[in-house]
Structure 1
């Protein structure tokens, strides 16, 4: 009985040893598989640093304004007899736009001219008598003063008649016509008859942040983008000498040439003001950057397809590109997509090398 019991214990021990050995073999296989998975290369996209042109610029928005515009009003009172221009017509400075009823002014001028002619004839006769000492100098001088005063009255009557002709104060385009034929123009109420804008040269006002003021210079170029149109160049012509305390911005004016008159006052523009241009800067796609602790870094791929994290210092920045001042060299291969899953010495598989 003891021999049979011992045999059973030995058999059980053998079975247990076999189970433990099998478990160890499975654990070793699992560790090996995990190690194999750890060395799988991470797929990434990359780009090569290159030299190119980049500019320091500031982006904002602006609305076009006419450099010169005028509200045309009448200095005379009367009924509008004729209107000679319509909205959209080009006019020159001094061109006749409308005519008011001027019969009263014409009659008044005729009366004053007749009186002046009578007094002029009398003055001529008195001058001859004065030369012959037939009248005193005092009488002759009083008559001459009357003549001069009447001449001024005639000039005023001519001016009143002239003011019934409504003329353009500036050259431009009639943007609005407010008056109608037969309408009474009242001198005691400020009443615009026409609105004229000069479209040959437009302006765009931008408000630069105070920190951009050190880079802004009169004569710099700006690029204006309008919906559905090719970009238009402009020039920075004026910069305000004071900073607005409320907004912390500086008012700057851009001059926009418009000889073809394709642009209109009131159009909305995206503005890119170019402060400086570097023709041969070291460039990199902006999406390669990783921002940590207020510093910028990238992953650089070496010849063995392993990556290393390098800190870089940036210069000018464009929409999709940045200038690298230090940290990289020309032709370095840098990860631009997939870097979130990387760490130093990680093995990568470069799927695509993008051009930019």
Structure 2
């Protein structure tokens, strides 16, 4: 029996529609999608680094204000603002002509004092012979001796005046007191500087190494001490506190520092203490006055938790993980992080031992979706020696 053409076309369309409906139901038994395969890590209580994050401010390890030590007019600036200079490098040249004239004047006074001393020395020698012959009185000889001593003192005074004038001339070339990075010049050519007023000319900061100053509250420091006392925190034999710096945007400084100073006094205005960390800074990425965040590793927590970095979902407001509950359904859990160490995040709160955290595959699922836990791979047998 032959069907009309329109009935044949309707049968084909109906079959296509049934096929698409079957595909929409997942194509599996009962029309349900199979659970997504994920890899999990069971949370265990273990020893993890005790990470404390604090805001900090960068300081130069050495700073020097370069001030005028001679009077005069600035002739030249001998360095470029912001460059590195060695210790004793020339920075400014003050007009030396007046100081050179003072040196010449002091040297002339020195020559006169030497001549006077030579004259009194010769007179004393002659009178010494005559007084033995009683050709002159003892009073005349003592007067000659006094004149000689006065001439000797005048010679020393003249020599000191020369040294002082020469020192003032040397100060006409303003030099760097330390090695470091120069700041902006505070005077320009033609400016009058004064030694009495100690005119500020520039500043030099030594930024390698650099210091980072932290101000934790005394309450948190006492809590740390209580944790050490009751055994929750283990500091071990090594009391050294390592510090990692987070720059703008969360970038980590590649070099680590150590805390080298802890203030024993408490700031009464803020109730905080001062910690200072020392950092190698060969590239000058840490600059004085810069604000950074530091992660301080203060011992280890005996019964802490940590997770691989790839298991953590870090958002703008909070961090979270995906867990697998007892019904093998994915659920989201917010967690509080306390820093990174050895490729793992230290979790401060939000997890308990026994929780199953999805490590791989969480990006393919949504909360409430059933999952299938990937079994652990069987370790390969070691090859026997022939």
Rounded to whole Å, the distance in 2 between the matches of 1:247 and 1:236 is 21
Rounded to whole Å, the distance in 1 between the matches of 2:163 and 2:149 is 21
Rounded to whole Å, the distance in 2 between the matches of 1:152 and 1:139 is 20
Match of 2:267 in 1: 244
Match of 1:60 in 2: 54
Residue pair 2:53, 2:294 contacting (<8 A) in 1 also: yes
Q: Which of 117, 122, 126 pairs up with 2:111?
A: 117
Q: Which of 61, 64, 74 pairs up with 1:80?
A: 74
Cα 1:352–1:61, aligned 2, differ >3 Å: closer, same or farther? farther
Residue pair 1:209, 1:250 contacting (<8 A) in 2 also: yes
Rounded to whole Å, the distance in 2 between the matches of 1:100 and 1:111 is 20
Q: Deviations over 1:129-180 (max 9, x none)?
A: 3234164322211221222222222222222222222111111111211221
Which segment is superposed worse, 278-287 or 191-200? 278-287
- TM-superposed CA distance for 1:284, in Å, is 6.2
Per the normalisation by structure 2, the TM-score is 0.62
Q: Which of 291, 299, 305 pairs up with 1:268?
A: 291
Cα 1:209–1:178, aligned 2, differ >3 Å: closer, same or farther? same
- TM-superposed CA distance for 1:47, in Å, is 4.2
- The alignment status of 1:226 with 2:234, answered yes or no, reads no
Residue pair 1:222, 1:272 contacting (<8 A) in 2 also: yes
Q: Deviations over 1:165-203 (max 9, x none)?
A: 211111111121122122222445453211111122111
- In terms of fraction of residues, the more strand-rich structure is 1
Match of 1:91 in 2: 85
Residue pair 1:49, 1:282 contacting (<8 A) in 2 also: no
Cα 1:124–1:268, aligned 2, differ >3 Å: closer, same or farther? same
Per the normalisation by structure 1, the TM-score is 0.66
Q: Which of 206, 217, 231 pairs up with 1:198?
A: 206
Residue pair 1:54, 1:318 contacting (<8 A) in 2 also: no
Rounded to whole Å, the distance in 1 between the matches of 2:194 and 2:39 is 75
Rounded to whole Å, the distance in 2 between the matches of 1:86 and 1:321 is 47
Match of 2:278 in 1: 255
Report SS of the residue matched to 1:208: coil
Q: Deviations over 1:249-279 (max 9, x none)?
A: 1111111111233332233312111102469
Match of 1:158 in 2: 166
Residue pair 2:43, 2:353 contacting (<8 A) in 1 also: no
Match of 2:193 in 1: 185
Rounded to whole Å, the distance in 2 between the matches of 1:83 and 1:250 is 42
**Structure with larger Rg:** 1
Which segment is superposed worse, 236-245 or 123-132? 123-132
Cα 1:277–1:103, aligned 2, differ >3 Å: closer, same or farther? same
| Structure 2 unaligned spans of 5+ | 1-35, 131-140, 226-234, 313-322, 330-336, 377-386
Rounded to whole Å, the distance in 2 between the matches of 1:262 and 1:210 is 30
Residue pair 1:46, 1:333 contacting (<8 A) in 2 also: no
Q: Deviations over 1:40-86 (max 9, x none)?
A: xxx9x994325677311211212211111122110222111122111
Rounded to whole Å, the distance in 1 between the matches of 2:243 and 2:149 is 68
Rounded to whole Å, the distance in 2 between the matches of 1:153 and 1:323 is 71
Residue pair 1:73, 1:192 contacting (<8 A) in 2 also: yes
Cα 1:334–1:117, aligned 2, differ >3 Å: closer, same or farther? closer
Residue pair 1:284, 1:323 contacting (<8 A) in 2 also: no
Rounded to whole Å, the distance in 1 between the matches of 2:358 and 2:182 is 58
Rounded to whole Å, the distance in 1 between the matches of 2:76 and 2:352 is 76
Rounded to whole Å, the distance in 1 between the matches of 2:348 and 2:109 is 84
- TM-superposed CA distance for 1:124, in Å, is 2.5
Rounded to whole Å, the distance in 2 between the matches of 1:49 and 1:153 is 83
- TM-superposed CA distance for 1:230, in Å, is 3.8
Residue pair 2:247, 2:292 contacting (<8 A) in 1 also: yes
